């Protein structure tokens, strides 16, 4: 579908990196450029624009003014620092065109619509600049307060509230319709569809994720003359802990995923033994008991090993994201639609977080995957073939049509 591919290319130019990727962090000037362009695209299609207080953006197609209900589709326009062009943006832009297509179909079938339809761009899905991730959708769902979301600060101490205000996206026009269903189209970010030559996945739920931020407290000293037995090296304790995480995951041997992807060291000088280090750890598995077993054993181990070298630890954050199920009726509908339009479809749980998981706490939510070549994601080389994007779009359009016209 040429229009979809052109839109993806156009948005990929905003924050384009030299290696072919996209760096468009939430509430930055580049995010503003993408938001401004999306707002123009909403207007170009005569959709009703709405922007709520956390900056979530909506383009509403009023299919029948007699109804207050609205079905929402969408995703996010912010990216990771090493992002690609499909993650998030595909769902927003395919959603934009799908809303337009369903509206045209409703105009050709008067009286068919029983709900209105909207496309959404959710604020700070990635959590690259501000934590926690899924911020805008969590505020929308009511699981995160607006005040707490505004207070999230980046590494420079700038809050999300201040950053949104600076780019002019603390909105004052919340969605006035009653949301009843949500559908998100996304690239898989894994290789399960590719392995079985599948076209579509109707995602049934998510793995549990536990994100733990640990602070290691040692003491500062000169890297040269300080005697080795006197050093209380927080970075050494952190290094031990990173390796310990992988050892504990392998010991459990249940296929869990884990990482230590971010580290802050102070004073971060080549001539000073680090006295304070913070590391962000995470463990994922579809069985919550496995995640708890690995992470609890890991925490006990690193406390003991840090103490052995004179370093203390404290837990700065411990975020347990349960393994939620997505709307089972939505799963069945997507599988049926995929079959009807000639796509090979299957169902499985997502390992990654998505706005649909946050929104499921308020309304029934569905998640549709299309393949990612090699399972590569959060990488400039992420790629989904044009024909795969088109198949996902076709399934989204038909799914939305059936949702807005169902009795």
pLDDT tens track for 213-231? 999 999 999 999 999 999 9
Two tokens at 143? 């699981």
Place of tokens 């994201």: 321
Ramachandran quadrant class, 275 (left: phi over 0; alpha: psi -120 to 50; beta: rest): alpha
β pairing state of 345-346 and 257-266: unpaired
Is the model's pLDDT at 3 over the cut of 90?
yes
Contact 376, 382 (CB under 8 A): yes
Q: What is the mean pLDDT of residues 325-335?
A: 98
Q: What is the mean pLDDT of residues 247-253?
A: 96
- What interhelical angle do 288-308 and 234-252 show, nearest 10? 150
- Per-residue pLDDT band for 322 (boundaries 50, 70, 90) equals confident
- Per-residue pLDDT band for 323 (boundaries 50, 70, 90) equals confident
Q: What is the mean pLDDT of residues 295-318?
A: 97
| Average pLDDT over the chain, rounded to an integer | 97
Give the chain's count of helices (H) and strands (E). Answer: 12, 16
Q: What is the mean pLDDT of residues 359-378?
A: 97
Is the model's pLDDT at 362 over the cut of 90?
yes
- What interhelical angle do 29-44 and 2-12 show, nearest 10? 150
Neighbours of 226 (CB within 10 A): 16
Beta carbons within 8 Å of 206's beta carbon, 6+ residues apart = 286, 321, 323, 324, 326, 349, 350, 351, 352, 353, 354, 357
Predicted local confidence at residue 407, as pLDDT:
87
Two tokens at 290? 């496995």
Is the model's pLDDT at 177 over the cut of 90?
yes
Q: Within 13 Å and on the Cβ side, how many CA atoms surround 35?
A: 28
The beta strands (E) that lie in 97-148 are given as: 116-121
110-119, 277-286, 315-324, 360-369: which range is least confident on average?
Answer: 315-324
Predicted local confidence at residue 321, as pLDDT:
87
Domains and their CATH numbers in the chain: 2-207+324-405 (3.40.630.10), 208-321 (3.30.70.360)
Q: What is the mean pLDDT of residues 239-256?
A: 97
Q: What is the mean pLDDT of residues 191-212?
A: 97
Two tokens at 113? 């619509």
Beta carbons within 8 Å of 192's beta carbon, 6+ residues apart = 198, 201, 348, 375
- Quote the CA–CA distance of 134 and 361 in Å, as a whole number: 12
Q: Could you tell me the end-to-end alpha-carbon distance of the chain, in angstroms, rounded to an integer? A: 30
pLDDT tens track for 58-92? 999 999 999 999 999 999 999 999 999 999 999 99
């Amino acid at each position: 579908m040429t229009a979809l591919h052109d839109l993806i290319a156009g948005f990929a130019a905003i924050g384009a990196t030299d290696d072919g990727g996209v760096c468009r962090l939430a509430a930055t000037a580049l995010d503003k450029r993408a938001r401004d362009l999306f707002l123009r695209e909403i207007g170009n299609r005569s959709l009703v624009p709405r922007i709520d207080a956390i900056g979530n953006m909506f383009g509403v197609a009023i299919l029948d003014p007699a109804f207050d209900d609205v079905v929402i589709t969408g995703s996010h326009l912010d990216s990771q620092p090493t992002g690609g062009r499909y993650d998030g943006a595909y769902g927003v832009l395919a959603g934009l065109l799908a809303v337009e297509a369903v509206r045209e179909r409703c105009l050709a079938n008067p009286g068919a619509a029983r709900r209105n339809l909207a496309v959404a761009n959710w604020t700070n899905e990635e959590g690259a600049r501000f934590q926690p991730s899924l911020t805008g959708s969590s505020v929308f769902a009511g699981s995160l307060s607006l005040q707490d979301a505004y207070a999230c600060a980046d590494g420079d101490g700038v809050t999300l509230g201040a950053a949104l205000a600076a780019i002019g996206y603390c909105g004052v026009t919340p969605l006035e319709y009653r949301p009843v269903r949500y559908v998100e189209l996304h690239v898989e970010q894994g290789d399960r569809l590719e392995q079985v030559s599948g076209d579509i996945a109707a995602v049934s739920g998510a793995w549990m994720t536990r994100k733990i931020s640990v602070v290691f407290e040692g003491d500062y000293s000169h890297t040269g003359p300080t005697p080795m037995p006197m050093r209380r090296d927080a970075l050494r304790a952190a290094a031990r802990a990173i390796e310990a995480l992988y050892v504990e995951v392998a010991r459990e041997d249940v296929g869990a995923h884990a990482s230590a992807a971010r580290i802050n060291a102070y004073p971060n000088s080549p001539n000073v033994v680090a006295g304070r280090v913070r590391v962000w750890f995470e463990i994922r598995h579809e069985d919550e008991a496995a995640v708890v077993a690995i992470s609890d054993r890991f925490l006990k181990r690193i406390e003991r090993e840090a103490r052995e070298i004179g370093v203390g630890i404290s837990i700065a954050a411990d975020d347990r994201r349960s393994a939620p199920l997505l709307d089972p009726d939505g799963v069945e509908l997507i599988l049926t639609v995929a079959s009807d339009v000639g796509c090979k479809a299957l169902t499985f749980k997502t390992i990654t977080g998505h706005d649909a998981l946050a929104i499921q706490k308020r309304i029934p939510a569905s998640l549709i995957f299309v393949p990612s070549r090699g399972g590569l994601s959060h990488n400039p080389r992420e790629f989904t073939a044009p024909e795969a994007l088109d198949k996902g779009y076709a399934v989204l359009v038909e799914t939305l049509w059936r949702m807005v016209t169902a009795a």
